[in-house]
Structure 1
């Protein structure tokens, strides 16, 4: 599947130069639009409706100076967030998206609170394949060791970003998970335990084995205990980057959601090989992830592709949002066979079902 936006198309020289300037001033536009949203300018224009507001009227409220209003709203004007009508600023459709669209707000918060300062280190992070931008949040080798201790507002923005994309998918995939009536399921990359809780609540007989870093499992254990389902949950603190770390065996089904994108291809290969060894003879592996090559809409592919630099500068230094063909290739090398691929889950997820090769 190739998105139209990324197909070769002719672009005039003038239009190309304009697009190049948008790239050059992208960080400036981002910060000004964010300011207009966070400081209430966009809301004031929304409240005014189609008549909009004059700068003098907005300044008279005492919330913003004339200087700040002119500077910020002129940048918003250049970005199509607002427009001018009879000397009044009016909120445009892109502005309404910033003001009301959850996914837009979550993406802005994630980019600003988690990534913005660290992305200044992207060049060196790419050269060394290390998350050198992470120093702006904490002194961890990767962000995963520090998730539970991220400073605010980065912590809230990270988890809202992660859960927004994954949680919308859980209700629709549980029938897929239990299609083969598994009794022992391993949740690799269990994070806060949201999938494990959903699975335990869906099937009263199932047994969940959660695998993640110790600090993450402590959070998951606390959550599952609070929800009263910890009796059927088993916790296996594991550093998956340790290639000698074996996984619990005799699993009917292994689940991974938005997990493998946290690792390099070499690490993914090792994890998949160990997962294959942990499955029973007829066991299956389900991978739900966001693949930019399987998106129906350009906007989804655009967002996913541009999430990859976060993985370089902030998360691990050598992971990214992958194409589905990368996972399929690595899974086959690990002794797994692709059975089905289902797209259109939640906002932008696909589900790959593998079986242990005979």
Structure 2
């Protein structure tokens, strides 16, 4: 679909204008939701509502409602007939679709202000936009310290995409009945907890930065699994030695946090210490493995979050490139499962 230009000249210039004013349309959608206009129109159903009725039923005065509604018409979020406004399909999904809400909150609360510095991030290879929240080299040690609503929106975004694939991945991971599993980049501990609930015999060790370990420990203790889930504080880019007892080395949405050179370096370190019969299991979102163009669009857009806010040098990769990194690090793929959860791919790999 990317090999041809799909637009006529007239369509192309219209699309160009939508891009030129895209921030206005996005903020309109945010305010329509925030001020209750979408919710009010949704409740009116096929009857619709006049401007005066919308003002009475929402948190917007006449001026605010009128400018938002006019832009919403141009954005195809609502429709109008005989001076009555109606919620269109786009407006319905902006209001009710969980994925759309999670994506919008992430864009608004985590990314929007910082994206002003995208050009600087691209030039420097550093997350220049992160300065809107504080002075950190990357976002990862800062996650537990981000101000709300950014912190809540970040974790909601991360969990929405990762959690959806966990249940689908568990049977494949435990088909070999591993006794020891390493959860690298374990974040809040959700995967480690899921593993222990799925298999009562497995022992899990969560490897992550000290700041993330502290957060995961709270969740593990609350789940009553402190006796089965251990912790190993480590920076995977550092020189500290890795433990080597795992039957499964698991990484979910972890390697997209690093540059290609760093990915190959991390995988190579694992290959050097892992047991010959152990397996590396990587779950990632690849933009070229998606069923729908909108999914690929979303992943490529999110790559700019990594550029500007997260670390300055990573992204959601194509499967084509990622498989090459695995090969460079000494791994072969023995099983590939696409479309788990919300578009994830699970790669089960052996050391060559």
How high is the TM-score relative to the length of structure 2?
Answer: 0.98
Looking at structure 2, the residues matched to 62 and 287 of structure 1 have their Cα atoms a distance apart, in angstroms, of 46
1:127 equivalent among 123, 126, 132: 123
1:254 equivalent among 249, 256, 260: 249
Cα offset for 1:51?
2.0
| 1:276 matches 2:247 | no
User: Cα 1:237–1:33, aligned 2, differ >3 Å: closer, same or farther?
Assistant: same
SS of 2:172's equivalent in the other structure is: helix
SS of 2:192's equivalent in the other structure is: helix
Cα offset for 1:61?
4.8
Deviations 1:52-71 (A, max 9, x none): 11112223457322211110
SS of 1:80's equivalent in the other structure is: coil
| 1:296 matches 2:291 | yes
2:339 equivalent among 334, 344, 348: 344
1:204 equivalent among 187, 191, 200: 200
Cα offset for 1:241?
2.0
Runs of 4+ in 1 over 6 A off after TM superposition: none
The equivalent residue for 2:212 is 216
Looking at structure 1, the residues matched to 105 and 190 of structure 2 have their Cα atoms a distance apart, in angstroms, of 22
Looking at structure 2, the residues matched to 60 and 315 of structure 1 have their Cα atoms a distance apart, in angstroms, of 42
Conserved 8 A contact 1:253-1:279 = no
Looking at structure 2, the residues matched to 228 and 33 of structure 1 have their Cα atoms a distance apart, in angstroms, of 42
Mapping of 1:53-92 within 5 angstroms? 53-61=49-57, 63-92=59-88
1:27 equivalent among 20, 23, 27: 23
Cα offset for 1:95?
0.1
SS of 2:29's equivalent in the other structure is: helix
Cα offset for 1:91?
0.4
Deviations 1:58-103 (A, max 9, x none): 2345732221111011111101100111111110000000111111
Conserved 8 A contact 2:40-2:57 = no
Cα offset for 1:9?
3.8
Looking at structure 2, the residues matched to 95 and 307 of structure 1 have their Cα atoms a distance apart, in angstroms, of 22
Conserved 8 A contact 1:33-1:75 = no
Consecutive unaligned residues in structure 2, runs of 5 or more? none
Cα offset for 1:225?
1.3
SS of 1:146's equivalent in the other structure is: helix
| 1:263 matches 2:262 | no
Deviations 1:90-130 (A, max 9, x none): 10000000111111011010000000000000000000010
Deviations 1:30-68 (A, max 9, x none): 001110111100111111111211112223457322211
Equivalent residue pairs, number: 352
How high is the TM-score relative to the length of structure 1?
Answer: 0.96
Q: Root-mean-square deviation (CA), in Å?
A: 1.2
